[in-house]
Structure 1
Amino acid sequence: MNNQDLQTLDQLIDQLISQNNQLKEQVLALKEQNQKLIDENETLQLEVLESEEKQKEFSSSLSGLLDKLQAQQVG
């Protein structure tokens, strides 16, 4: 291996190290983004559960009122 080959190899290694560092940064950024999306998803799922519970309560109350109205009409 001559001096020119060593210089070329050194340049290629530097490029690979640089690309590797960029990819590590991208992976870190994607992991952070993924965690934010997981957190947001969990929040939205909780909001849906709360909304479903409120809807059930409302439906139950409405059903009770309709029963009262029907009983009033029959009586």
Structure 2
Amino acid sequence: MLENTLPQLEQLIEQILEKNNVLKAQVKELEQQKSDLMEENESLQLEVMESEEKQKQASTSLENLLAKLQSVQEAS
């Protein structure tokens, strides 16, 4: 019985070590993906903020132009 148990234990330990290495590699890959996605998210948030600022500026410019047109119409 001991003759069979020891090789089986060695085989199981080897399988566990291999699986552990695979899982470590997957964790490392997932951490890199997470880091990349966090950077992309920050970049997209900055783009959105810049876009909102440009939209506000455009809206203000349009409101000013409209006000000028209205004042010219009233003067005519």
TM-score class, shorter: over 0.9
TM-score (norm 1): 0.97
Distance in 2 separating the partners of 1:60 and 1:2: 85
Q: 1:58 aligns to what?
A: 58
Distance in 1 separating the partners of 2:51 and 2:38: 20
Distance in 1 separating the partners of 2:60 and 2:2: 86
CA offset digits 1:4-28 (Å, max 9, x no partner): 1000000000000000010000000
| Structure 1, unaligned runs of 5 or more | none
Distance in 1 separating the partners of 2:64 and 2:2: 92
Q: 1:39 aligns to what?
A: 39
Give the superposition deviation at 1:32: 0.1
Q: 2:16 aligns to what?
A: 16
Query: Identity rate of aligned residues, in percent?
Result: 53
Distance in 2 separating the partners of 1:51 and 1:10: 61
Give the superposition deviation at 1:3: 1.7
Runs (4+) off by over 4 Å: none
TM-score (norm 2): 0.96
Tell me the number of residue pairs that the alignment of Structure 1 and Structure 2 aligns: 75
| Structure 2, unaligned runs of 5 or more | none
